[in-house]
């Protein structure tokens, strides 16, 4: 029985992986092209990206409620309800985009933590302002993503993300060099790509007769408090979970920025690589979320549990191979990003730590996504708050910037604590999944 499940997980996971790699590929391109300008530009993109991801991922997390909602409706054959929930999510997307724009254009709380030099702060502000122009279409595309994922059609998402990736280098070159915007051009091109992919995606959807059964674009629906509240009850803990996850990562970048441009640039390389490989367990987790949600909607909890277990095993197996590659190729990977010898050496030492970090990250990523398929989001949120903020960020500050536990370890201290925090979080959510997915009789 597990073999058919494995095939279904892989068939849904690989398009998501390609789609997410395309998104991360944009960040890789930004990192490499900014790195060719100067260490200051690279560091500014790194700090700006950390702030942007905090805002964007939190908003996106609320909209992630759409995927398990659609998946369970789809499994139960409630197609008309899918269209209504997508329309209600549009109102949430509009509100979230407005909040995101304000935060990106007024990032003072984030910048106060980083204690940047005036020159670097100017670059970070300009970068974030450029990114703010793409916040609204980014939220609209996330609606498309949640809907298409929930009905098990991720290849369309993949196609549009690849279109955006293809446009990244020429648009970067236009803004960064043609218009002499420097690192700010990375943000401007990202915003432009958000508009392009979103308009293409929803225009394509409107022309597909096979989706008429869902009636997403059949009419305009005013906000319905009950429906929006249901989405918020599910999505708010997801958004809070991502906020904890991302802010732990963001504050790490901001604290490391105090160590100077070289170490900040090295951290940006390590962080960029971490996000790239994170897409592997994320794609597996997304596939398992959809399949488990559809099985639960169809009234088949046994298949939902088996799907989760297969996904967890697959995620750990693949990530073990990735971690081995990181450990053996740390110096070569660092050299790909920058010709600066000092930055390269510092980044290589961090990449070796990431090899361990990735295993813990893979476990918690797949399990948390399985739980979202079950619409279980509160316990993971609590586990993240304690682990990532307490052990990860707090422990990282102690290990990285103080002498309380020996000599300050700098950026390495933050990454060591982050790996430990994910290990704890992963253990908690795994135990929770095994509990909530057990057959009813086995819980008595």
Residues 117-139: pLDDT tens digits?
Answer: 788 888 899 999 999 999 999 99
Decide which of 425 and 442 is more confident.
425
Residues 81-113: pLDDT tens digits?
Answer: 999 999 999 999 999 999 999 999 998 888 887
Q: What is the residue range of 265's domain?
A: 2-443
Q: What distance in Å separates the CA atoms of residue 5 and residue 15, rounded to the nearest whole number?
A: 17
The pLDDT, as a whole number, for residue 440 is: 65
Is 443 a residue whose pLDDT tops 70? no
Q: Tell me if 378 sits within 8 A of 237, measured CB to CB.
A: yes
The stretch 261-269 carries a mean pLDDT of 80
Is 254 a residue whose pLDDT tops 80? no
Q: Give the confidence band of 311 by pLDDT, cuts at 50, 70, 90.
A: very high
Q: What is the mean pLDDT of the chain?
A: 88
The stretch 158-181 carries a mean pLDDT of 92
Task: Give the total number of structural domains in the chain.
Answer: 1
Is 289 a residue whose pLDDT tops 50? yes
Q: What distance in Å separates the CA atoms of residue 127 and residue 25, rounded to the nearest whole number?
A: 18
Q: Give the confidence band of 441 by pLDDT, cuts at 50, 70, 90.
A: low
The pLDDT, as a whole number, for residue 141 is: 95
The stretch 283-310 carries a mean pLDDT of 94
Residues 11-48: pLDDT tens digits?
Answer: 999 998 999 888 878 887 887 788 777 777 877 887 88
The string of DSSP codes covering 41-65 is: HHHHHHHHHHHHHHHHHHHHHHHTT
**H and E: helices and strands count for the chain:** 17, 0
The pLDDT, as a whole number, for residue 69 is: 92
Q: Which residues touch 144 (CB under 8 Å, ≥6 apart)?
A: 157, 198, 201, 202, 205
Helix residue ranges, H only, 298-374:
301-328, 330-337, 341-373
Looking from the CA of 331 toward its CB, the CA atoms found within 13 Å total 2
Is 329 a residue whose pLDDT tops 60? yes
The stretch 251-266 carries a mean pLDDT of 79
Q: Which residues touch 89 (CB under 8 Å, ≥6 apart)?
A: 63, 65, 66, 143, 146, 231
- Best CA proximity match to 44, nearest among 321, 265, 329, 348: 265
Phi/psi for 71 (5° steps) reads -60, -45
The stretch 160-186 carries a mean pLDDT of 91
Q: What distance in Å separates the CA atoms of residue 415 and residue 131, rounded to the nearest whole number?
A: 27
The pLDDT, as a whole number, for residue 282 is: 93
| Tokens (6 digits) for 323 | 């971690």
Q: Give the confidence band of 444 by pLDDT, cuts at 50, 70, 90.
A: very low
Is 2 a residue whose pLDDT tops 60? no
CB count in 10 Å sphere of residue 220: 7
């Amino acid at each position: 029985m597990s073999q058919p499940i494995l095939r279904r997980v892989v068939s849904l996971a690989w398009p998501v992986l390609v789609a997410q790699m395309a998104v991360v590929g944009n960040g890789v391109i930004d990192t490499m092209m900014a790195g060719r300008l100067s260490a200051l530009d690279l560091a500014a993109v790194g700090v700006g990206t950390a702030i942007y991801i905090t805002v964007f991922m939190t908003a996106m997390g609320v909209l992630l409620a759409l995927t398990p909602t659609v998946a369970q409706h789809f499994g139960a054959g409630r197609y008309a309800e899918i269209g209504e929930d997508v329309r209600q999510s549009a109102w949430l997307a509009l509100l979230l985009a407005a909040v995101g724009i304000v935060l990106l254009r007024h990032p003072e709380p984030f910048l106060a933590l980083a204690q940047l030099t005036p020159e670097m702060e100017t670059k970070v502000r300009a970068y974030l302002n450029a990114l703010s122009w793409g916040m609204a279409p980014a939220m609209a595309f996330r609606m498309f993503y949640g809907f298409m994922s929930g009905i098990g059609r991720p290849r369309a998402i993949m196609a549009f993300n690849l279109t955006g990736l293809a446009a990244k280098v020429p648009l970067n070159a236009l803004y960064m060099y043609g218009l002499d915007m420097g690192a700010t051009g990375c943000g401007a091109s990202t915003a432009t790509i958000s508009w392009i992919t979103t308009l293409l995606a929803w225009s394509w959807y409107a022309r597909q007769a096979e989706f008429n059964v869902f009636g997403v674009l059949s009419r305009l629906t005013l906000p319905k408090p009950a429906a929006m509240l249901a989405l918020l009850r599910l999505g708010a803990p997801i958004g809070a979970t991502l906020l904890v996850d991302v802010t732990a990562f963001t504050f790490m970048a901001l604290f490391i920025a105090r160590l100077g441009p070289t170490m900040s640039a090295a951290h940006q390389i390590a962080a960029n690589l971490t996000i790239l490989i994170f897409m592997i367990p994320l794609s597996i987790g997304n596939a398992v979320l959809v399949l488990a949600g559809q099985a639960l909607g169809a009234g088949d909890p046994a298949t939902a549990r088996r799907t989760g277990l297969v996904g967890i095993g697959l995620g750990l197996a693949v990530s073990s191979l990735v971690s081995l590659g990181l450990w053996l190729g740390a110096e070569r990977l660092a050299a790909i990003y920058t010709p600066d010898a000092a930055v390269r050496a510092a980044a290589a030492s961090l990449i070796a730590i990431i090899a361990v970090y990735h295993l813990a990250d893979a476990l918690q990523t797949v399990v948390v996504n399985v739980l979202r398929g079950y619409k279980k989001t509160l316990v993971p949120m609590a586990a993240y708050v304690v682990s990532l903020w307490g052990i990860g960020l707090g422990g990282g500050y102690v290990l990285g910037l103080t002498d309380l536990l020996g000599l300050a370890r700098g950026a390495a201290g933050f990454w060591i604590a982050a790996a430990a925090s994910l290990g704890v979080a992963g253990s908690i959510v795994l135990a929770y999944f095994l509990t909530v997915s057990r057959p009813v009789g086995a819980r008595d």
